[in-house]
Amino acid sequence: MKCRCSECDGEIAVPKDAVNGEIVTCPDCGLEFELVIDKDGKCSLKVAEVVGEDWGE
């Protein structure tokens, strides 16, 4: 499976055994995406949320 990066339009190769919610990275710009696979097997990507460290402050 292949998807396109929404940031740079680079091609992202998605492994055949990838699961819903898996994080994939664009090889061109480095942006991380969460993989969303619908019931028809089509993939789409949504930008992964970056959660910062919480040092208890």
Tokens standing for residue 31: 């942006």
Parallel, antiparallel, or unpaired for β 2-4 and 11-13? antiparallel
pLDDT number for residue 14: 85
Q: Which amino acid is at 19?
A: V
pLDDT number for residue 51: 67
pLDDT number for residue 52: 65
List, in sequence order, every beta strand (DSSP E) within 1-57: 2-4, 11-13, 23-25, 32-37, 43-47
pLDDT number for residue 49: 77
What digits encode the pLDDT tens for the residues 4-39? 888 899 999 888 888 888 999 999 999 999 988 888
pLDDT number for residue 57: 59
CA distance 12 to 34: 12
Among 9, 32, 31, smallest CA distance to 22 is for 32
Does pLDDT of 41 surpass 90? no
